[in-house]
Amino acid sequence: MPTRKRKAVYAGSFDPPTEGHMYMIREGSFLFDELVVAIGVNPDKRSLFTLEERLQLLRAVTRDFQNVSVSSFEARYLIDYAAREGARYILRGIRNASDFHYEQTMRNVNADRNSNVTTVFLVPPRELAEVSSSFVKGLVGPRGWKDFLKNMVPAPVHEALLKKFAGQKGGDDAEGAPEPGDPEG
């Protein structure tokens, strides 16, 4: 009897992709025969990077994974998108207790909608537990942000952040924006 491929969907806003996301993608590529990294588009959410920019960034950071593809979906529940893609699994990360409670609720709601798709949870290592897209975006600006973020995002994402904030939020000079009262300011 032929074995069925283990296909999973790992979805998020990826605005921007972080090293936390990369951990999930790396582990997911080992666990599953095929992993679809999908940007869930929320039209009510204001994004730093456009959908096309995020797709390009994800393609750049996943190009070395033979079994990983990048996609997007809009106006669809994740569970329905996963089923449409032929995935039997949804991959989700849990960084802390509040993530767990939210993801547990979503898992239960998804199972009520489609019990043929199973949610698999991964817990990232301690050094990535606080890294999220929102956290990364919130760190942009103060003196030293460019170096500070280097270990939180893949290199192509770091470069995209530098370009996005060139000329603002400390984006032009190597040290960042001068602090108030700084003689250089």
Q: What is the pLDDT of residue 31?
A: 98
pLDDT at 145 over 90: yes
State the pLDDT confidence band at 83, using cuts at 50, 70 and 90. very high
Q: What is the pLDDT of residue 129?
A: 93
pLDDT at 75 over 70: yes
Name the H helices within the chain. 19-31, 51-62, 78-84, 97-113, 133-139, 145-149, 155-164
List, for residues 117-126, the tens digit of each pLDDT value. 999 999 999 9
Burial 103-120 (b: 16+ CB within 10 A, else e): beebbeebeeeeeebebb
Domain residue limits, the chain: 7-130
List, for residues 93-139, the tens digit of each pLDDT value. 999 999 999 999 999 999 999 999 999 999 999 999 999 999 999 99
Q: What is the pLDDT of residue 38?
A: 98
**Tokens coding 70:** 């990048």
In the DSSP assignment, the letter for residue 4 is P
Average pLDDT over residues 65-74: 98
Q: What's the predicted TM-score (pTM) here?
A: 0.89
Which class is domain 7-130?
Answer: alpha beta
Q: What is the pLDDT of residue 2?
A: 63
3-state DSSP assignment of residue 54: helix
What is the rounded CA–CA span in Å between residue 11 and residue 38? 5
Residue pair 78/118 in contact (Cβ under 8 Å)? The answer is no
State the pLDDT confidence band at 86, using cuts at 50, 70 and 90. very high
State the pLDDT confidence band at 167, using cuts at 50, 70 and 90. confident
What is the rounded CA–CA span in Å between residue 69 and residue 85? 12
